[in-house]
Structure 1
């Protein structure tokens, strides 16, 4: 007897042997095809949707970083690859492959699932490589940023691009200079840009008498240097950054396992 959907429908409507036919269908196709396989496909479909959403979020973050942080990249003495461009490229690739993963599950295309699993593995290895590079070279990155800040302070007024980037950073973090507003100023007076002051009105290139050096708040100047503020911001959020990276890594491992499992089960059933 050839068991298919039409036979089951006919048996259940025109005869009293519906349960017999359903039992035969269960025995022939097994628990794997009737129950486990749909659950696996559903799990992989959910994961692929989450992966697609994560890619869209990364792409959005890249757009924001390109619009908001591009000036800050000028302040680093190190010439690393442009981080916003990396985020944009990664987000676009992850979004595209997340869609292909959903398509592979819905259309039951095992070769697409295989390619999806390989892409997940490549993404996992790339993410771990970038994370480990940032961990191992964090001191070099920090020193490069410190040197860039000091250079921007020294050439302030001579390089418009660096000056604008430094002003944006000082206003955003309420800081002044690389290590503090007084660095390199031992004279009785000092001239500061308006971004160093709490109140911008009347602050630009204001001469400050030495008598107010001991009371920085009275002078209306941001007390801390920008490097300290950035370093503290990173340190305060390092746990959340590490937890996010590890969570994404474990999620990708689960996605790789699901893609391989669905592909192998599909092969066993239909071959």
Structure 2
């Protein structure tokens, strides 16, 4: 076969080369994003299990969803690279369709996080209250609550007073021991020091008195809620940003697939 090098054809080749390079770069980025989501899933599985356990709402297992999404995205990113390298239009088209699915899923996830924030928060609040009330009954939930109170340096759902009406407090009842104050008993995870909070003298029940007694004055719900509220916008913004880059990936994949199709059907139109 003879090759005639018209200037248009060489610019076409340069365009093809740039298109392949762009899609290859994009696929590698997508692949890296898949790995990042996968490692985020591993991290969530390890560190967010307490939060999941304490919520009253039954959510689908978010860490597992992250793990599986990460694995699938990683595999598809690799397929995209393969499609570019092997010049397979069918693989590129499939890759484009997958990008579209990922885009829709990402948008749905990001937006539902924003819309259902209050609902998620409400479920967490009632879950915390339930964990405080049933501290003596449910070992798993009690351990989760202890590790949460230690990690966030908080005490109770709304505050340390939640413990005073719990079954646990009734079992560890404290008798008034000082002339002008009372003494309280709280779980060890509510204490700033590891000595424990049994029969702690409490001179005044304002924040200063509570802090000087060595008790964390803030409730866990506020801390978790502000943590989620601060981060949910960043997460949603990142997801939306990723979604818009995926539109670029879909366009690139489809353009390249079209250019790689056999040329019989394509008529060269002279200008």
Q: TM-score range by the shorter chain?
A: 0.7 to 0.9
Q: Give the alignment partner of residue 247 of structure 1, picking from 241, 259, 262.
A: 241
Partners of 2:163 and 2:213 in 1: CA distance: 18
Instruction: Specify the alignment match of 1:211 in structure 2.
Output: 203
Shift of the alpha carbon at 1:71?
A: 2.6
Instruction: Specify the alignment match of 1:26 in structure 2.
Output: 6
Shift of the alpha carbon at 1:139?
A: 1.3
Q: Which has the higher helix share?
A: 1
Q: Rg: which structure is higher?
A: 1
Conserved? CA contact 2:155–2:217, under 8 Å: yes
Kindly indicate whether residue 26 of structure 2 is the aligned counterpart of residue 42 of structure 1.
Answer: no
Shift of the alpha carbon at 1:159?
A: 1.1
Instruction: Specify the alignment match of 1:145 in structure 2.
Output: 124
Q: Describe the superposition over 1:120-167 as per-residue Cα deviations: whole angstroms up to 9, x where unpaired.
A: 000111111122222222211110000000001111122110011011
| Structure-2 change in CA distance of 1:71 and 1:238 (3 Å) | closer
In structure 1, stretches of 5+ residues that fail to align are 5-23
Conserved? CA contact 1:212–1:219, under 8 Å: no
Q: 1:212-231 residue pairs with structure 2 within 5 A?
A: 212-214=204-206, 215-231=209-225
SS at 1:81's partner residue? coil
Instruction: Specify the alignment match of 2:160 in structure 1.
Output: 181
Shift of the alpha carbon at 1:28?
A: 7.7
Shift of the alpha carbon at 1:101?
A: 0.4
SS at 1:37's partner residue? helix
* TM-score calculated relative to the size of structure 1: 0.86
Q: Describe the superposition over 1:55-92 as per-residue Cα deviations: whole angstroms up to 9, x where unpaired.
A: 00110111111122213211000001011000001000
CA-atom RMSD, angstroms? 1.9
* TM-score calculated relative to the size of structure 2: 0.86
Q: 1:1-271 residue pairs with structure 2 within 5 A?
A: 2-4=1-3, 24-27=4-7, 29-32=9-12, 34-183=13-162, 185=164, 188-201=182-195, 203-204=196-197, 206-214=198-206, 215-267=209-261, 269=263
Q: Describe the superposition over 1:12-56 as per-residue Cα deviations: whole angstroms up to 9, x where unpaired.
A: xxxxxxxxxxxx323584521x20001000000000000000000
| Structure-2 change in CA distance of 1:213 and 1:96 (3 Å) | same
Detail structure 1 runs of 4+ shifted over 6 Å in the superposition.
none
Shift of the alpha carbon at 1:231?
A: 1.0
